[in-house]
Amino acid sequence: MATKTQPMNKSALVILTENFEEIEAVTPIDILRRAGVDTVTASRAQTTEIRGRSGIVIKADCLLDEVAGRDWDMLVLPGGPGSHAMRSDERVLSLVREQVAGGRLVAAICAAPVILKDAGVLKGRRITAHQSVIDELPGLLDKEAVVQDGPIITSRGAGTSVPFALALVEKLCGYNKALQIAHSICTEV
């Protein structure tokens, strides 16, 4: 007798670093988990306790080195002042390159799209980001809340965290799931 198998949950890895923007990390984590996405937070530091730019300490699920070699449906990079430290972290840059080369999603918000630039995956792509990095990202779409181009999804900053997170859910789980989550938190897709 054949049994019907359940579809596997989608997965997302959110990388946290000191001085990350708390809203830009917690909002996608929360909304992705509400949608049933297996969302793992990884610290790029040597501790799982990471302090954000506003002094809020978040305990990551694991260290970044502990998830090396695992495939993710989506990689999420929160912004804030700490995102600049990720620019020189070859582990992060390699993850970004592997995701894009594999046709898997990479999402970056606020200043984090500069990480994508440094990884060399933005050529010819439409993106948005925080105005603080506009000089580094020529052609930046500075009026758009969320921009998707191929496997790359970008957003402008803390104020666009909810639309950004809902766009991630829509991409991974479909429009109806994003709409369901939006209604449950009293907003729109």
Question: Model confidence over 109-130: pLDDT tens digits?
Answer: 999 999 999 999 999 999 999 9
Overall number of domains in the chain: 1
Print the domain residue range for 154: 11-184
Does residue 3 fall inside a structural domain? no
Does residue 83 fall inside a structural domain? yes
Look up the pTM and report it: 0.95
Tokens coding 85? 């430290």
Does residue 5 fall inside a structural domain? no
Question: Among all residues, which ones are annotated catalytic?
Answer: 110
Does residue 64 fall inside a structural domain? yes
Does residue 6 fall inside a structural domain? no
Render pLDDT for 78-114 as a digit per residue (tens, 0 to 9): 999 999 999 999 999 999 999 999 999 999 999 999 9
Count other Cβ atoms within 10 Å, centred on residue 148: 19
Residue segments in the chain with a per-residue pLDDT below the cut of 70: 1-7
Going from the C-alpha of 115 to that of each of 50, 62, 98, the distances in angstroms are 19, 21, 14
**Domain of 33: which CATH number?**
3.40.50.880
Tokens coding 67? 């998830």
